Chains A and B, each alone.
Chain A
Amino acid sequence: MKNGTSAAAILAAGIGLAMTGIISTLAEAIAAFGKVLIWSKPVGDLSGKTFIGIAAWLVSWLILGLLWRDKEVSFRPILIVSAVLLVIGLLFTFPPVFDLIAGG
């Protein structure tokens, strides 16, 4: 069984996590950007942050899935990159980190 689509699913999840983290930190650091992300007033900027993270995940999954369909890819580097993206996602959604970057 070829591992391309599975690798795509794992890497795309990493991209979604990292994007959610990066967008969250940017929203804290740049107030105007945070306001742009208020797509639901009762929820605040969390609505935009999470929507963009999910969109990045799904779009990257679709693209990688098409690129790697029926292909055997080197799995270990994919796992390592996905783990790094997970750490980025975790770091940038950790309040002390995004407060530090936002200067507050």
Chain B
Amino acid sequence: MAFTFREIWTAIHGMALGFGFVLFFTGALALLLTLQPQLLTARGIRRNIILLKISGIAIAGLSWLAVIVGTYIVYPWYRAAPPKGTTDLSSFPRSRLLANSALSGWHNFGMEWKEHLGWLVPIIATAALFLIFRYGEHLAKEKKMRWTVFVILCIAFVLAGIVGVLGAIITKEAAVV
């Protein structure tokens, strides 16, 4: 069992960065939901905010890294056109999908959606990060803003989830190797 150079980058894109995003997202949600003056001491709020800032940086940072690595390292391998006369399309995932009418939807719908939707996630995550830093400990008292951050993070998570699932299915059907 061995990974190719391309498979390693695909794993970094989808698994390391993608799962890292999910990991820190769940942490951020838990921190936000418990960030209430009636639940925490002043010291507890300060600790929650520090952890929330770390989670926010991780969520935004990982989502930016995921789209940059995905778009500028993995995607060119995915969409590379095979030389004329090539019959073995195993190294050309896009062409491999399009050559099979039963699978072409995974490019025409799946990858087309994923490649655009993915870029919306870091913009949303960065807005949430800004709010976390802007309000800091005030988030504990500002219920409306706390829920705004919560909803924004959930939107980023849902979109990232769609992108991740599409990526997993496309990789299953035509992996970048």
Contact = CB atoms under 8 A, between A and B. Distances in A.
Interface in B84-124: 108-109, 112-113, 115-117, 119-120, 123-124
Interface stretch (B1-9, B21-29, B37-45, B131-139): B131-139
A20 to B, nearest CB: 6
Contacts, number: 74
A9 B113 contact: no
Interface string A15-58: 01100110010000000000000001011101101100110010
B123 A13 contact: yes
Interface residues of B, number: 31
A46 B124 contact: no
A17 B130 contact: no
Nearest to B129: A9
B138 A17 contact: no
Contact of B126 (A13, A21, A49): A13
Contacts of A24: 116
Interface size of A as a range: 20 to 34
B15 interface: no
A10 B127 contact: yes
B76 A94 contact: no
Contacts of B152: 10
Contacts of B112: 95
A79 B76 CA distance: 37
Given A43-B71, A79-B148, A93 B123 contact: no
Contacts of B130: 6, 9
B172 interface: no
11 contacts: A6-B131, A9-B127, A17-B124, A20-B123, A40-B72, A43-B72, A43-B76, A47-B71, A50-B71, A50-B119, A57-B123
Interface of B: 67, 71-72, 75-76, 79-80, 108-109, 112-113, 115-117, 119-120, 123-124, 126-127, 130-131, 134-135, 138, 142, 144-145, 148, 152, 155
Interface of A: 1, 3, 5-6, 9-10, 12-13, 16-17, 20-21, 24, 40, 42-44, 46-47, 49-50, 53-54, 57, 75, 79, 86, 89-90, 93-96
